[in-house]
Structure 1
Amino acid sequence: MNKRFTRILATSVAAAALVGSLGACGKGSASAPSAGSNEITMWTHNAGNAEELKAVENIVDSYNKSAGAKAKIKVQAFPQDSYNDSVVSAAASGKLPCIVDIDGPNVPNWAWAKYLAPLKLDADVSKNLPSTVAKWEGETYAVGTYDVALAMLARASDLKAAGVRVATVEKPWTKDEFQDALTKLKALGKWEYPLDMGTAGTGEWLPYAYSPFLQSFGGDLINRDGFQSADGVLNGDKAIEWAQWFRGLADQGFMAKKSGKDSTQDFLNNKSGLLYTGSWAADKARAAVGKDLVVMPSVDLGTGPKIGGASWQWGVTSGCNNSAAAMDYLSYSLKPENLAAVAKATGTIPATDEAAALLPEYAKGGTNRIFMELSRNYAVMRPETPAYPFIATEYGKAVQDILAGADPKTALDKSVKAIDANIKSNGGYKN
């Protein structure tokens, strides 16, 4: 995986601790009062990510200098490893800032804990990529300037040598075609494992990367009708099929049970023929492989290809003493030119078509346009429930156990039992 994205995923998983920590702090802790009546603070996890932090600071600087600014925005950046701990500590002491960034799938947990206020923006987010808008119980609580998308990367020359067609958005590989492609690629004898699924990944990578395969089979992380139980969807027949198929990729010698730490670099070093990764790796791969690189959608395992949706987004805390200014800034940050600037700096998918049109690689016909198409067509939001951080942790354990040789049903039943108990112990995560 790309190192930057690995750090982001690791931070996301640290947020799993917030399920208990936020509740322990007490719902609805107030935000800290501003240093001055015309200044509000914005927190970001990007202290260790110079490109994204600079892009955010540029937008803030532009807003602060604009004639219509309702307050001066002050940016405070934290190292990713300590960001969530800082949020928990601030929530406990009633010193949250007015604006925070948060990984999209964790937004419902923060909203349930009443740390976030529903957004009331002047900006129209109806044309955004759906995965850049985080909702809970019908209210929008966060919005992102970008997203990322999972895909399969390969060299066209390798596929041609193996007699394998290039999958397209309109015609992805079926389960049988994928099996056939792997068999033919392995037969070339070029790689120990023709497929790299990033199985060395940990934390949020596990549900982000692998639950879409579960969903493509017809299972899911939780029953989305009420979000009260995982029984039947995470341990039902379709889920068992997914687990057997997934481990089968390793058992048949198509992928390693634990891949290298940098799957993208291994692919570029020709240690694999087919790489399951995301849009964050495309520019580096294209620079190295050139026109031989092909970007393909994920596999249709029965109910169509699926990929994870949502990345880091922005929200306003419920105790902000100048929420009008905070909302005004967020509306300003969503202007097309601002979305394009962040996407260009981070190598991510701009949140709107209007912003994409400002970037040749994401405009119609551009080299990275496919990632926007994949997001629009195949992105599935990770379950929009406050229980998600706990669900993610339990599912990740099951994935690792299954790859290590555990009985799939036993591993999944264990996860279901833990998830259902957590939901019950939190009163169903109702308001």
Structure 2
Amino acid sequence: MVFRTRRLAGASVAVAAATALVAGCATGSGGSTSGADGDTLTLWTHNAGNSTELDVVKKIIKDFNGSQSKYKVKLQAFPQSDYNNSVVAAASARKLPCLLDVDGPNVANWAWGGYLAPIDVSGSEVPLSDQLPSTVGRYKDKVYGFGFYDVSLAFFARKSVLNENDIRIPTMDKPWTKTEFDAALAKLKKSGKFTYPLEMGTGGTGEWWSYAYSPQLQSFGGDLVNRDGYKTASGTLDGKKSVEWATWFRSLVAKGYMSKKSGADPNKDFLAGKSAIQWDGSWNATKNADKLGDDLAIIPPVDFGRGPKIGGASWQWAMSSSCSNKDGAQAWLKFSRQTKYFVDYAKATGTLPGTEATAKQIDGYQPGGKFNELVQFARKYAEVRPVTPAYPYISTEFEKAAQDILSGADPENALGQAAKDIDNNLKTNNYNAG
């Protein structure tokens, strides 16, 4: 999986953010202040090496600095692979910048750890209520971050291939059921025309596993953790419905429908005709449409019993708790919340516009546009990953269990061990209290 181009929320969670959980509530709060030298505020972003998005950040900073004389924002960009490590280290040393971006799934972890302060962006040009719900980061009923975009998962296929195999093209009003989906894969396998009928990016690593597959688990009726208090995964992650998902997930490999480990570029393989159906993201919609034209089918997620589900939340902007000039930081945050910047982000990154007003200005995403379904998927189907400081650890354990299951591990045992490890971690951290 190519994280850099996929704009996947949580793509760089891994060990660094898990370390934040272990560090506890005191890591980023109290003691000294930082992030500002008088009225000059430092801003950190993960976009070094991603010039298209970085240019938008630079534009907002330049416009803000030129719009008034009281504050000046100074940029520091990090490669995405190093970003979380840098934040964790700076928080431990109480040297966080005033402004920083944060992966949506990490908001609760960083707020709980004391890295972030709640923000007030009331009076902005774009109200928070206008945004896709998944683009606003909340923890304990307070707003800690907001993003300008999201991404959406979908199935992509060729209409001609589905028609040739007498497979119904689903709609949002009538998505595929599990029975239909399994029957479609069986037909495509029997045709003998594809290396694998289904491509779901199983060669990916890190957050892709939770982002891509936990919505299917949730559609079965399971989940990563019991969301009623977030105090246990046992009985949920290893519950009956979760085991049903895992058994089905492994059967995709056992039946030859899907590779245990896909190639380096799953989308390229799909466009080359090696697979018939691809579970992928909105980041490749334009490329697919350019290649396949009107033959491209953008298909909603399967309803495995509890409704179609996809992941939600991507990168968001936040203010550190140790910022010594919070008025200046919030002034920049409010200034950035202009529709024109939402438009700039969407055009530059190929991501889903964060508001309906933005979508109307982006070719293909406006109502009736060829990609508007992707926006509707995000509005209707997005399931925000568990809003708990423990999420990075939960995600890592789920990835390990799911990979083991595809390699032949017993689903009940693998999920049971993951649930037990998550429960131990929650208990060690006092269930993330305080």
Query: Structure 1 length as normaliser, TM-score?
Result: 0.96
Distance in 2 (CA, whole Å) between partners of 1:55 and 1:22 is: 33
2:250 aligns with one of 247, 252, 255: 247
Distance in 2 (CA, whole Å) between partners of 1:331 and 1:361 is: 28
Q: Does 1:172 align with 2:182?
A: no
Aligned to 1:144: 147
Aligned to 1:234: 237
Q: CA deviation at 1:55?
A: 1.2
Distance in 2 (CA, whole Å) between partners of 1:325 and 1:114 is: 20
Aligned to 2:86: 86
Distance in 2 (CA, whole Å) between partners of 1:19 and 1:246 is: 31
Distance in 1 (CA, whole Å) between partners of 2:13 and 2:337 is: 23
- Contact 2:35 2:99 (8 Å CA) reproduced: no
Which stretch shows the higher mean deviation, 364-373 or 269-278? 364-373
Aligned to 1:344: 347
Distance in 1 (CA, whole Å) between partners of 2:111 and 2:35 is: 20
Aligned to 2:97: 97
- Contact 2:26 2:114 (8 Å CA) reproduced: no
2:96 counterpart letter in structure 1? L
Identity within the alignment, %? 49
Q: Does the residue aligned with 1:367 lie in a helix, a strand or coil?
A: coil
Show the 5 A alignment for 1:114-153: 114-122=114-122, 123=124, 124-153=127-156
2:97 counterpart letter in structure 1? P
Aligned to 1:4: 4
Q: CA deviation at 1:328?
A: 1.8
Q: CA deviation at 1:208?
A: 0.6
Distance in 2 (CA, whole Å) between partners of 1:325 and 1:334 is: 15
Q: CA deviation at 1:26?
A: 2.7
- Contact 1:21 1:88 (8 Å CA) reproduced: no
- Contact 2:6 2:281 (8 Å CA) reproduced: no
Aligned to 1:160: 163
Distance in 1 (CA, whole Å) between partners of 2:308 and 2:261 is: 24
Show the 5 A alignment for 1:312-391: 312-391=315-394
Q: CA deviation at 1:116?
A: 0.4
Aligned to 1:261: 264
Q: CA deviation at 1:13?
A: 2.4
Distance in 1 (CA, whole Å) between partners of 2:15 and 2:271 is: 30
Distance in 2 (CA, whole Å) between partners of 1:7 and 1:157 is: 29
- Contact 1:40 1:322 (8 Å CA) reproduced: yes
Q: Does the residue aligned with 1:413 lie in a helix, a strand or coil?
A: helix
Which stretch shows the higher mean deviation, 352-361 or 390-399? 352-361
Q: CA deviation at 1:241?
A: 0.3
Matched length: 429
- Contact 2:181 2:302 (8 Å CA) reproduced: yes
1:114 counterpart letter in structure 2? G
Q: Deviation per CA, 1:38-88: give whole Å up to 9, x if none.
A: 210110000011111011111111121114x65111111001111111112
Aligned to 2:43: 42
Distance in 2 (CA, whole Å) between partners of 1:378 and 1:31 is: 41
Which stretch shows the higher mean deviation, 218-227 or 6-15? 6-15
Alpha carbons of structure 1 residues 15 and 286: separation in structure 2 relative to 1, 3 Å: farther
Q: Deviation per CA, 1:198-247: give whole Å up to 9, x if none.
A: 11111000111100011000000000000000111100100110000111
2:150 counterpart letter in structure 1? D
Distance in 2 (CA, whole Å) between partners of 1:2 and 1:160 is: 31
Q: CA deviation at 1:31?
A: 4.4
Aligned to 1:284: 287
Distance in 2 (CA, whole Å) between partners of 1:307 and 1:374 is: 8
Q: Does the residue aligned with 2:12 lie in a helix, a strand or coil?
A: helix
Q: Does the residue aligned with 2:128 lie in a helix, a strand or coil?
A: coil
Q: CA deviation at 1:23?
A: 2.8
Q: Does the residue aligned with 2:294 lie in a helix, a strand or coil?
A: helix
Aligned to 2:106: 106
Q: Deviation per CA, 1:305-328: give whole Å up to 9, x if none.
A: 100000111110011111122112
Q: Does the residue aligned with 1:134 lie in a helix, a strand or coil?
A: strand
Q: CA deviation at 1:189?
A: 1.6
- Contact 1:22 1:88 (8 Å CA) reproduced: no
- Contact 2:147 2:315 (8 Å CA) reproduced: yes
Q: CA deviation at 1:399?
A: 0.3
